[in-house]
Chain A
Amino acid sequence: MANRTFSIGGSHTADKKLSKDCAIEVLPMPSTVYVSMNQHLGAPAKPLVAAGDTVKVGQVIGEPGGFISAFVHSPASGTVKSVAPRKDLAGNSTLCVEIAVEGDEWVEGVDLSDTLVKAVPEDRAFILDRIRLNGVVGLGGATFPAHVKLNPAPDKKAECLILNGSECEPYLTSDYRMMLEHPSEIIVGAAIMRRALGGCRCVIGIEDNKPEAVASMTKALDELKASGLEGYEDISILPLMKKYPQGGEKQLINAVMGREVKSLGLPIDVGAVVQNVMTAFATYEAVQKNKPLVSNVLTVTGDCLPIEKQHNYKFRIGMPLSYIAEYAGGVPEEAAKIVSGGPMMGKAIANLDAPTVKGSSSLLYLTEDQTRRGKESDCIRCGRCTEACPMGLEPFLLVKLARNAMMDELEANAVQDCIECGCCLYSCPAYIPLLDIIRIGKGDVMKIIKSRPRK
């Protein structure tokens, strides 16, 4: 029988996991790192250091700027050179702490050993504190502060923690490598999150194009269950049929639980909490090792790269993208576009000198042939956009409404439900820039919705 997947829409994108067999390598430190204060969803962090200060690895250099915000830690030991705005990868100005790297001296109290700590702490408050103080954010793309999601409002009950190991975007292999190389840490992380949520069940969803990851995670889970320690009951691994965007929060909830989150609602409304496998790893390090989130794994890949130049790197947050690109052997000449993130939802890089952030997951090189859009022609009403939309929307209609600024009709046709996954534009044979136009319409409608007085 075919594995489960979400029920509405989706695209069968090419796999292209070119770098799947490249083991994770640790990148050496550059001479300077630039740590952004705005690398999570929510309010930017407030810098706590000034030029001339010396910092150690893991030292707090930014504090949360609001309820939905996160701590930022120094990824290097050295001297703060400046605290000033710099351009991020899109070219927007963002406050960064510039640190001249002088060594790798960590703050006190961090366990730097590789020993697996299996015992899950009992105390919920302790777990949430460690996650918050160590700056853990969702590493699946949205970088939503992890402790907020793991601490739902008292009237909401988590029934299922869904760990997202689907890595549904083509090309990306960092989650896959982590599931192969650190499955036990990920599962301990899941057990910790589960405890924080009050002991709900946990399902780890992995797409079936990664059977090695399913096998590796299953083996690690069996070993942990056999250890006799508490906290590993009610955790299971669920292979999912490969279909994009399986890793979308709403889609994954539908695939695993068969439920649908209401329009503008939250996953917790249907009893679900979704976290990425990388977030589970960061949670493990934060809680069991008291280690702040100062590194992540990133894939360097693309069809125009020979296999020996494809890599999965463990990088320190704040390393410039250009440094990583140079270290990996330089940007290939054929690369017409460099994408940070997957090819479906990632961002095109305008400024390669931008620093990496907590959520950085790839340097993807695309050739002009791959990424050039065809010339737009008239809609032939084939309905492929509607079939592909995982929210069941009608992109062809939304585009017409948006182009005519028909706001009421846009809202009635649920433009605000769009998750911007790109399936519509991907599948349009007339190359109509569906998502580009819908995104603008959605933004306008969301402004109208937010401006209404609350009932």
Chain B
Amino acid sequence: MASRIVSPNPHLHAAVSTRSLMRDVVIALLPATAVSIVFYGWHELLLVAVSVASCVLLEWAITRYLLKKPSTIGDFSAVITGLLLALNVPSTCPWWVLAIGAVVAIGVAKMTFGGLGQNVFNPAITGRVFLLISFPAYMTNWAVPGSIGEAWGSSVVDAVSGATPLGIVKEGLASGMTLDEIYADNGFSYLEMLYSNLGGSAGELCVAALLLGFVYLLVRRVIKPHITLSIWASMFVFAGIFYLIDPSHFTDPVFNLLTGGVMLGSIYMATDYVTSPMSRSGMVVYGVGIGIITMLIRYFGAYPEGISFAILIMNAFVPIINRFCHNKKYGRA
């Protein structure tokens, strides 16, 4: 008789793997990546390539030479970190800054903790915040994209530099202007923000492309909507209250949702499996925390944008959230 497998149940598997899930996240990020390359040109392509290559190479080198374990780059998680890091910096950023960001993201935030699944803080955001603090000039040199293809004919140095909507508002309010005056000077519109040609990090360019990826992740059941939606809802409510109190000094809820890194952060980085809570109620607590901290930084903090800091701060609370938030158990209160 031929030898056969005897093992305990279940005898089938859903045929999802870490690799297939991570690959889906990469696919979801492709529209936003493509848009940023189309608008920002060769230099953006270089940034994406350098970032992804450094992350993957670094993880390979660390597993191979430091940990002396089998390589884990096949799980695609380093590709995601690389992509996110590149999308989180301005397209004018020098390429070597991204290489340094990759060292912090993969080397410090991920591999020192033991690699995928063990890290406390989201690697891409840790890398981004490190760069923001260390190279503030490079990290806030926002390029305003021109029309499609414009950037491809010229070098990046010629691109128009400008501030982000959030930055313009922060500076304007600090100089004593009211929001109406600031808007009148700059002429923002919601429609513009949706497909946007306003200044910002490369990946924040097109909200529509980011939303497309969100829908893909939901349809493929890669992530649950709880974290993202609770970030949006809490930001909307928080901003709504302040906007109702004083519309001349507090930006309105929709403006806050459509500007800065909210979409990129709430869809792709706050939902990182490893650094977010496991239960549905915990996800809501975590999302609301991110939303409120983001708005606190935007309204009252020194930085115009705060979602990166908010996610990092809430990452630190995940173990305690997991301790107290659990899904409903059958037959128990």
CB within 8 Å of B: which residues of A?
A: 8, 11, 13-14, 170, 250, 254, 260-263, 265, 333, 335-339, 343-350, 352, 364, 366, 368, 370-374, 377-384, 386-387, 390-394, 396, 414, 417, 420-423, 425-427, 429-431, 435-436, 439
Contact = CB atoms under 8 A, between A and B. Distances in A.
B117 A381 contact: yes
B328 A8 contact: yes
A336 B330 CA distance: 36
Interface in B7-40: 7-14, 16-18, 20-21
B203 to A, nearest CB: 23
B278 A426 contact: no
Interface residues of B, number: 39
B21 A382 contact: yes
Contact of A378 (B118, B224, B330): B118
B18 A394 contact: no
15 contacts: A13-B14, A260-B330, A336-B4, A372-B5, A377-B18, A378-B114, A378-B115, A383-B273, A392-B328, A394-B326, A394-B327, A396-B278, A417-B332, A421-B10, A431-B17
A392 B116 contact: no
B302 interface: no
A261 B10 contact: no
B196 to A, nearest CB: 31
Contacts of A260: 330-331
A392 B327 contact: yes
Given A392-B328, A392-B330, A337 B4 contact: yes
Nearest to B275: A381
Contact of A422 (B9, B114, B115, B278): B9
Query: What 8 A-B pairs have minimum CB-CB distances, sorted nearest first?
Result: A422-B10, A392-B329, A378-B117, A382-B273, A337-B5, A383-B278, A348-B6, A391-B330
Contact of A13 (B12, B21, B274): B12
Contacts of B10: 343-345, 421-423, 425-426, 435
A250 B8 CA distance: 22
B21 A429 contact: yes
Contacts of A392: 326-330, 332
A380 B117 contact: yes
Interface in B299-333: 326-332
A427 B331 contact: no
Contact of A386 (B7, B77, B279, B332): B279
B5 A380 contact: no
A70 to B, nearest CB: 24
Contacts of B274: 380-381
Contacts of A262: 331-332
Given A8-B329, A337-B7, 4 more contacts: A371-B5, A378-B116, A394-B327, A439-B8
Contacts of A421: 10
A370 B13 CA distance: 8
Contacts of B6: 337, 348-350
A266 B325 CA distance: 28
Given A381-B274, A382-B21, A254 B330 contact: yes
A250 B332 CA distance: 13
A9 to B, nearest CB: 8
B133 interface: no
Given A371-B5, A380-B116, A250 B11 contact: no
A436 B2 CA distance: 25
Contacts of B224: 383, 387
B327 A377 contact: no
A368 B331 contact: no
Contact of A263 (B13, B273, B326, B331): B331
Nearest to B278: A383
Contact of A417 (B2, B13, B77, B331): B331
B157 interface: no
Given A250-B330, A417-B330, A352 B1 contact: yes
Contacts, number: 154
B124 to A, nearest CB: 15
Interface string B71-96: 01001010000000000000000000
A426 B9 CA distance: 9
Contacts of A380: 18, 21, 77, 116-117, 273-274
A51 B18 CA distance: 58
Given A386-B327, A392-B328, A435 B8 contact: yes
A23 to B, nearest CB: 27
B117 A429 contact: no
B153 to A, nearest CB: 43
Contacts of A393: 329
Given A374-B13, A380-B273, A435-B10, A8 B330 contact: yes
A343 B10 CA distance: 6
Nearest to B18: A429
Contacts of B276: 381
A373 B11 CA distance: 9
A436 B7 CA distance: 9
B12 A261 contact: no
Given A346-B11, A371-B5, A430 B18 contact: yes
A348 B7 contact: yes
B119 to A, nearest CB: 10
A258 to B, nearest CB: 13
Contacts of A8: 327-330
Contact of B12 (A335, A343, A349): A343
Interface in B133-178: none
A420 B9 CA distance: 8
B327 A344 contact: no
B329 A417 contact: yes
Contacts of B118: 378
B14 A263 contact: no
A70 B79 CA distance: 60
B314 to A, nearest CB: 15
Nearest to B276: A381
Contact of A366 (B11, B273, B279, B330): B11
A274 B91 CA distance: 64
A347 B7 CA distance: 8
B51 to A, nearest CB: 22
B224 to A, nearest CB: 8
B12 A170 contact: yes
A122 to B, nearest CB: 36
B67 to A, nearest CB: 12
Contacts of A422: 9-10
Contact of B13 (A250, A254, A265, A431): A431
Given A260-B331, A392-B329, A429-B21, A373 B279 contact: no
A391 B329 contact: yes
A350 B5 CA distance: 8
A351 to B, nearest CB: 9
